[in-house]
Every structure is written in structure tokens, then in C-alpha cells.
Structure 1
Amino acid sequence: MHRHAFLLVGLLALPLLPAAPAAAKDKPHLSVTIDVASLGAPPDEAAGPADLAAVLSAQESRNPARQESAVQDARQTLARFLEGMGAPVDKDELKKARRLFKDAMEVLEAALAPVKERFDRPRPFRASDEVRPCPVRLPRSSSFPSTHAATGTLFAALLAHVAPERRALLEERGLDYGWSRVVCGFHYPSDVEAGRAGGRLVAAALLKDPVFVARLDATAPRLRKALGL
């Protein structure tokens, strides 16, 4: 379906920065920059109504179960990502993996922040009274691109590195995780597509970084166990 399409346009990544100090040696030492111009922009006035119509359509078709799932997906954590695909989560056992994925998300958020700041797009529930957001704390940041959609794409890619035989299932979960934001009226489909593109960029950069990959590989046995492998 159209909402599951990927928008991959010209995105640029900076080279690796010098190794981090010993006190922070386990932190990702990578900086990723997204070229705002090549990422694209929110739809113009002519195309905007169709973007809003898709949000309203998702709103009308959501049932209580899908809404509750979308509300739970507001949590940007590895635990929630796994729970949403029915994987059991032992938070103590996955402590190192959870820390690693949080670090990855910090790299992602830093890369997307300038894009959000530049466009400062109002979220659907602020742009239209017809949008009924999910009963959860309303996000305050701007709408374009969707950091949640980027997170879902990033997490799916990192997990697929340690569990390639689950790639299709992980990618489907990543898509659904991002679409939850449309279901809740927090993002437009165009926000989600741009977020997915950013998530793929950051995932690719992290998976080329030997320090990050070494940490990810060290967590592989426990992540695979959580995925039923």
C-alpha cells in the first residue's frame, strides 16, 4: 500500500569523527547529516489536502485494538518495538541492547532535528479540528519528518543485522510502528515517508561503524533469543 512505500532521496552522511574519549568509548562516534534540500519538503498547498485526507481516513478506520497499539507505540524504545511484534522482553537480559538502541536513537534524533526546525510543520491535530488524536500526551515538536517512523526503520535494520532470517517481519513491524503516528493523528503520511528515509540513512551509517557494530554483535545472542531464534 502507498503508506508502506519508501521515500529514498539524496541523503548525505558525514564521515566518521575521530574516536571518542575513553570515558565515552561505547558511545557511537558517528555524526550523520541529512541534506535538508535533497530530503524534500512537506506537500504544498495543492497537495496538502490529500495528506490530511489520509490522516482522517486512518482515523476513521482505527478500531480500539489498533488505537491501543498506536498509543503503546508512542514509546520510542527497543522494548516496545519488540513487544509490538509479540516478542517477549526481559528488560534485564536486554539491558545492554536497550542502551545501544537508545544511543542509536540519539544519533538519529540529532540528524533529524535540523530538518524539523527548518520546516516547523504543524502536526495534523493542530492543523485541523477534524483530527481526533489518540488519548496520549500530545507531542510538541514539529511534524516533518516523523522521528517515530525513522526510529521504526532504524530499529528494524539494526535487528535485521543480527537476525537476517527475520528481516521481512522486522521491516513490517517498522512500517507499522511508523504508521501508528498517522493512526493517532500525530503525523501525515509524507512525514512518515521522509522519516523512514532518514532512518535508513542513519542505520546504514551506523552499520558501517566498527565500534557500533561490535557492540551490536555483542548483544546478538540475547536479541536473537528475544526474537525466538
Structure 2
Amino acid sequence: MTRNASLLLVALLAISTVPALQAEAKDKPHFAVTIDTTAIGTPPDATTAARDMQAVLSAQAERTPVREELAIRDARQTLSGFLEEMNADIDKDELKKARRLFKDATKALEKALAPVKGRFERPRPFKANSDIKTCATKLPPSSSFPSTHAGTGTLYAALLTHVAPEKTAELEKRGLDYGWSRVVCGFHYPSDTEAGRTGGRLVAAALMKDPDFVARLNAVAPQLRKALGL
């Protein structure tokens, strides 16, 4: 093979790998964190599990169409959705960088909690009890413990508190409601949401130790404060 032919072959091979590399980069979280997963705990014993199920059934009985709609919106795990329920002024274009950052944070959370989910494989309430009527949205395929969505609500609240400390109480309440949406839908038990919140706090603390993450969060702080009416 001539030198020119060899160079051409190398170039073609490089071009052919670009889409694969781009796809891999797109799927890979921009931030990876290490947390102490033992702090999340384990699924409850039989007695607590029975109380867990009763709490889900009670939440089902109390569910209103309005609360179900909120739970369905919360299932999307987006910064915009989290803020909208706080009567925030959402400009998606203005919040583009913030939305990207919080999506990256969610991916870091999901990756951190995945080993715990895989370790316990706790069946979700709607699979354990046919009386559970789920919300009219896609059924989650993964196991129940811990709740990644509850972790997301806690994570978002913690990160937003960093840029808007005067809204701490409101943000924490929104984070709790966000996690409870999963119980309302019959997708999680209360103990799942508690474990998820622990995971969310751990991931938030780990991210806030990453200088790159903090720099990006501080850069979008003005836009987030504006959205929160500050």
C-alpha cells in the first residue's frame, strides 16, 4: 500500500468513528460522583413494608385529578417542570445552560443510584398489589428502591438553594412534593422516596465539591434567580 493510500485509509477510519464517539459523549454524564451508598440504607423489613403499602394505598385514595397531573409532570425530571410549580417565570431559552447543567446533574444522580437499585431489585407497588392504580404515564421499568425521582427533587432543591438561599424553605417543600409524586402514582413506597432523598443530598454535596460544576452553577445563577423572582 502506498503512503497516500495509507493516509486515506486512516482518515476514513477516523471519520467513520466520529458518530460513535459523539453518541457515546452524548450519553455519558458530564459529571461523575462517588457517594457512600451504604448511607442510603436497605429496603424495609416486613412490618415496615406493610405500612409502606398502606401509605401508597392511602395516597391513591386521596389522589385528585389535579394532583395526578402534577405527578405526571414531575415524572419528566426537568428543571423547567420543577420551577413551574413554584410559579417561576420560565424562559427556556434564557435557562438553556441551566437546564443543561441540571440534566447533567440528574445523570450523575442516576449513575450513582443505579448500583443500589440493581442490588436490591425491590418490586414497585403496582407490581406487588393489583389494587394500585398508576398514573396515566409510562410505567417505570427499573426496581423501586431507592427513588431516583425523589433524589432528583432533593438534588434540584439543594442546588437551587445554593443560588437562592432566601428560597430555602420553598425549595425544600417543592423537593418533598416532587418525591411524593411517585407515591401518588403508585410507582414508589415512602421508604423508597426517603432513600432517594438521602441519595440526592449525597450527590448534591459531591457535585458542590467539583470546581467545574460550581463554576457552571454560579454562571447560571443570575438566570435562575430571575426565574425565581429574585
Q: Deviations over 1:164-185 (max 9, x none)?
A: 1011101100000000000010
Q: Deviations over 1:105-146 (max 9, x none)?
A: 111011000000000111000110111111111111110000
SS at match of 2:110: helix
How far residue 40 of structure 1 moved from its aligned partner, in angstroms, is: 1.6
After the TM superposition, which parts of structure 1 deviate over 2 Å for at least 4 consecutive aligned residues? 27-31, 33-36
CA contact (8 A) 1:149 1:179 kept: yes
Corresponding residue for 1:134? Answer: 135
Corresponding residue for 1:88? Answer: 89
Q: Which amino acid aligns with 2:54?
A: A
Q: Which amino acid aligns with 1:150?
A: G
Farther off after superposition, 63-72 or 49-58:
63-72
How far residue 28 of structure 1 moved from its aligned partner, in angstroms, is: 4.5
Is 1:214 the counterpart of 2:215 in the alignment? yes
Corresponding residue for 2:64? Answer: 63
Q: Could you state the TM-score of these two structures normalised by the residue count of structure 2?
A: 0.85
How far residue 34 of structure 1 moved from its aligned partner, in angstroms, is: 3.4
CA contact (8 A) 1:157 1:203 kept: yes
Q: Give the count of matched residue pairs.
A: 204
CA distance in 2, matches of 1:183, 1:71: 10
Corresponding residue for 2:34? Answer: 32
CA distance in 2, matches of 1:152, 1:78: 10
Q: Deviations over 1:37-80 (max 9, x none)?
A: x4221112232111000000011011111111111111101011
Alignment of 1:9-20 (within 5 A): none
How far residue 31 of structure 1 moved from its aligned partner, in angstroms, is: 2.3
CA contact (8 A) 1:146 1:195 kept: yes
CA distance in 1, matches of 2:177, 2:145: 18
CA contact (8 A) 1:182 1:188 kept: yes
Corresponding residue for 2:144? Answer: 143
How far residue 29 of structure 1 moved from its aligned partner, in angstroms, is: 4.4
Report which of the two has the higher share of helix: 2
Q: Which amino acid aligns with 1:149?
A: A
How far residue 157 of structure 1 moved from its aligned partner, in angstroms, is: 0.5
SS at match of 1:200: helix
Larger Rg, first or second structure (1 or 2):
2
In structure 2, stretches of 5+ residues that fail to align are 1-24
Q: Deviations over 1:189-222 (max 9, x none)?
A: 0000000000000001111211100000000110
CA distance in 2, matches of 1:187, 1:29: 27
Q: Could you state the TM-score of these two structures normalised by the residue count of structure 1?
A: 0.86
Is 1:44 the counterpart of 2:45 in the alignment? yes
CA contact (8 A) 1:34 1:111 kept: no
Q: Which amino acid aligns with 2:127?
A: R
SS at match of 1:86: coil
CA distance in 2, matches of 1:103, 1:60: 36
Corresponding residue for 1:194? Answer: 195
CA distance in 2, matches of 1:193, 1:121: 15
SS at match of 1:151: helix
In structure 1, stretches of 5+ residues that fail to align are 1-22
